[in-house]
Amino acid sequence: MADLKIYRASTTAPVNIAVIKYWGKRDPALNLPTNSSLSVTLSQSDLRTHTTASCSPAFDHPDTLLLNNAPQSLSTPRSLACLRSLRALRSGLEDADPSLPKLSTLPLRLASANNFPTAAGLASSAAGFAALVRAIADLYALRQSPTELSLIARQGSGSACRSLLGGYVAWDHGTRADGLDSRARLVAPKAHWPDMRALILVVSAAKKGVSSTAGMQTTVQTSSLFQTRAKEVVPKRMAEMEHAILSKDFETFAKVTMRESNSFHATCLDTDPPIFYLNDVSRAAIKAVEETNDKAGRTIAAYTFDAGPNAVIYYQKADEDAVLKTFLPILRQKEGWGETDTKIDDPGPA
């Protein structure tokens, strides 16, 4: 009788929020960035993608993916690159040990669910591709480290490489044409700075107008600020940020985070046609952080925005009352905060 067994593995991957932003590719096919970036991995308890990967001789070809119960294409070059790389690694194991079931040739069924707005600038593609790669790697019993798997996730979506590691994670841009040195690196585990907190303000759950992939390509082609940012501004800030994290220097962490967010959005504005990710509510959040810090007499909160209007506010546990009691009432007075949702989290697993 034919083997109709279903092989299955489930996993979750967290969202990461960059404090040094990835924006611009030196190789769009391989998702190789023009500059390094650095992110804080959020806790999986709130913002995460859950993915189950299954394969079976009972399934029909082709491979399929459901995201939040809706069918998605897996025939994009990025998805195909991830699946090809994972199958090649499994095939290597099967060649070395003929007693292993030949999973690499079986059709895959992938089912993913986000517990946050998809494509609204909350790093859904990062968590999505990280979960996809991790789930299939687990299904195939691959022995690669998270950093090695980050090379595969990067081909799905650049920022996904950072979601395979917890804590404070750098993505080194690398210099090789084949991208083998463009991967995630642990700067510090979550436990290094357990007092760090992130407040997520969902300004809009709508899908963003300009995708990151399209937006950053237009920026590379048209922005005059971009070259200076990639070559001079970001390398200096990467060093400052790593040092701030290692020495738990919140003041520097916060100042670099805010200037970096503003530099990224200035570069978007300098793109032709200009890209607007921030809106009036986002700008009210920036003002509220400034007011919070002014009131405290020191920098206790830092804002950052990705490719969308939603704000992420970093602060330390000791300042939670000051940030929440001062910051949220200020925001609630502003028009447009009706949809505000707050999530307080600590960075993810080490």
Residues that bind ligand 2P0 (CB under 6 A): 18, 21-23, 31, 37, 123, 125-126, 157-159, 212-213, 306-307
Separation CA 224–CA 231 (nearest Å): 12
Phi then psi dihedrals of residue 191, to 5 deg: -65, -20
Q: Is the CB of 103 or the CB of 184 nearer to ligand 2P0?
A: 184
Q: What is the number of other CB atoms lying within 10 angstroms of the CB of residue 334?
A: 15
Cβ proximity to ligand 2P0: between 8 and 259 the closer is: 259
For ligand 2P0, which is the closer residue by CB, 44 or 263?
A: 263
User: Which amino acid, residue 65?
Assistant: L
CB of 38 vs ligand 2P0, minimal distance in Å: 8
CB of 114 to ligand 2P0, least distance (A): 14
**In the complex with ligand 2P0, which residue's Cβ is closer, 37 or 104?**
37
Complex with ligand 2P0: residue 263 or 293, whichever CB lies closer = 263
Residue 38 bridge partners (DSSP)? 20, 170
CB-nearer residue toward ligand 2P0: 110 or 330: 110
* CB-based closest residue to ligand 2P0: 158
For residues 77 and 271, what is the distance between their CA atoms, to the nearest angstrom? 26
The DSSP line for 252-286 is HHHHHHHHHHHHHHHHHHTSSS------HHHHHHH
- In the complex, what is the shortest distance from the CB of residue 338 to ligand 2P0, in angstroms, rounded to a whole number? 26
Looking up tokens 């991967």 gives: 183
Q: In the complex with ligand 2P0, which residue's Cβ is closer, 146 or 158? A: 158
Contact 331, 308 (CB under 8 A): no
β 108-114/64-67 pair status: parallel
228, 230, 232, 233: CA torsion to nearest 10: 100
Q: How far is the CB of 122 from ligand 2P0 (least distance, A)?
A: 10
Residue 230 beta carbon to ligand 2P0: minimum distance, rounded to whole angstroms: 13
Closest separation in Å from C-beta 275 to ligand 2P0: 11
Distance CA 14, CA 140 (A): 21
Rounded to a whole number of angstroms, the minimum distance from the CB of residue 325 to ligand 2P0 is: 30
Neighbours of 113 (CB within 10 A): 16
